[in-house]
């Protein structure tokens, strides 16, 4: 009996950590103080008449002590971006893990929590691949409160409206992904909160 008990203990002590590894991988929780510019913790900006303000919010959050609050006015012909990851202009935008340290083939999707207000705003969620190619997934704020948005990698499409000059433009989503960004699409003036960006297997 003692041996059986020992086997059980061994099994669970080994099985639980390996099971936990197969679960979601938290890559960004927006827990740093938010600042922009060259030394920013978030790389954000806007142009052609659109405007955006990015702050941390400690009242509305899904995990940790705060979320990312995006207050925006997206006008026709304007643009904006709110980005985190690697290879961006701002210097302190790193995720919690580096892209190279992630076993990407273990995950089929990238997900985040959005706090909606049923504003009907369409929000683009872009990922930049290893060849600097930008891939897009569009969500609609048609919910209230926190909602997990799961974006399957195979449902992203290569952006046709804009690509970085350095993009490989090979129409292949090349891993590792280096950064992600949000862009509320015109015309819309509202607020959205983002938290808990994870790699998931759904
Ligand atoms: Ca958080
Ligand atoms: Ca590519």
Nearest-ligand number for the alpha carbon of 164: 2
pLDDT at 21: 47
Nearest C-alpha neighbor of 197 from the set 85, 106, 92, 65: 85
Q: How many domains does the chain have?
A: 1
pLDDT in tens for each of the 202 residues of the chain?
Answer: 566 565 555 555 555 554 444 689 999 999 999 999 999 999 999 999 999 999 999 999 999 999 999 999 999 999 999 999 999 999 999 999 999 999 999 999 999 999 999 999 999 999 999 999 999 999 999 999 999 999 999 999 999 999 999 999 999 999 999 999 999 999 999 999 999 999 999 8
Query: Who surrounds ion ligand 1 at CB < 5 A?
Result: 29-30, 63-64, 195
Q: How far is the CA of 114 from the centre of ligand 1 (A)?
A: 11
118 inside domain: yes
CA–CA separation, 144 vs 115, rounded Å? 7
2 inside domain: no
What CATH number does the domain containing 166 carry?
2.60.120.430
Nearest-ligand number for the alpha carbon of 134: 2
Q: How far is the CA of 132 from the centre of ligand 2 (A)?
A: 7
Model confidence, pTM = 0.89
- Please name the helix (run of DSSP H) or strand (run of DSSP E) that holds residue 56, with its range, or none: strand 51-57
110 inside domain: yes
Range of the domain at 172: 25-200
Q: List CB contacts of 50: < 8 A, sequence separation 6 or more.
A: 72, 73, 74, 75, 78, 79, 80, 186
Instruction: Answer for the pair 67, 57: CB distance below 8 angstroms, yes or no.
Output: yes
105 inside domain: yes
19 inside domain: no
Q: What is the DSSP string of 66-79?
A: -EEEEEEEE-TT-E
9 inside domain: no
Q: How far is the CA of 200 from the centre of ligand 1 (A)?
A: 17
């Amino acid at each position: 009996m003692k041996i059986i008990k020992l086997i059980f203990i061994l099994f669970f002590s080994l099985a639980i950590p390996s099971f936990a590894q197969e679960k979601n991988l938290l890559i960004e929780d927006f827990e740093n103080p938010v600042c922009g510019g060259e030394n920013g913790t978030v790389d954000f900006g806007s142009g052609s008449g659109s405007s955006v303000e990015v702050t941390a919010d400690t009242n509305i959050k899904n995990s940790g002590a705060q979320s990312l609050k995006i207050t925006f006015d997206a006008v026709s012909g304007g643009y904006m971006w709110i980005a985190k990851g690697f290879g961006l202009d701002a210097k302190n935008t790193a995720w919690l893990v580096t892209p190279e340290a992630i076993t990407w083939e273990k995950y089929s999707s990238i997900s985040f929590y959005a706090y909606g207000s049923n504003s009907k705003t369409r929000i683009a969620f872009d990922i930049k691949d290893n060849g600097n190619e930008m891939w897009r997934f569009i969500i609609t704020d048609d919910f209230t409160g926190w909602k997990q948005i799961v974006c399957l990698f195979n449902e992203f499409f290569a952006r046709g409206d804009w690509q970085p000059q350095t993009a490989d433009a090979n129409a292949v989503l090349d891993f590792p992904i280096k950064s992600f960004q949000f862009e509320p699409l015109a015309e819309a003036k509202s607020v959205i909160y983002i938290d808990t960006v994870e790699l998931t297997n759904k």
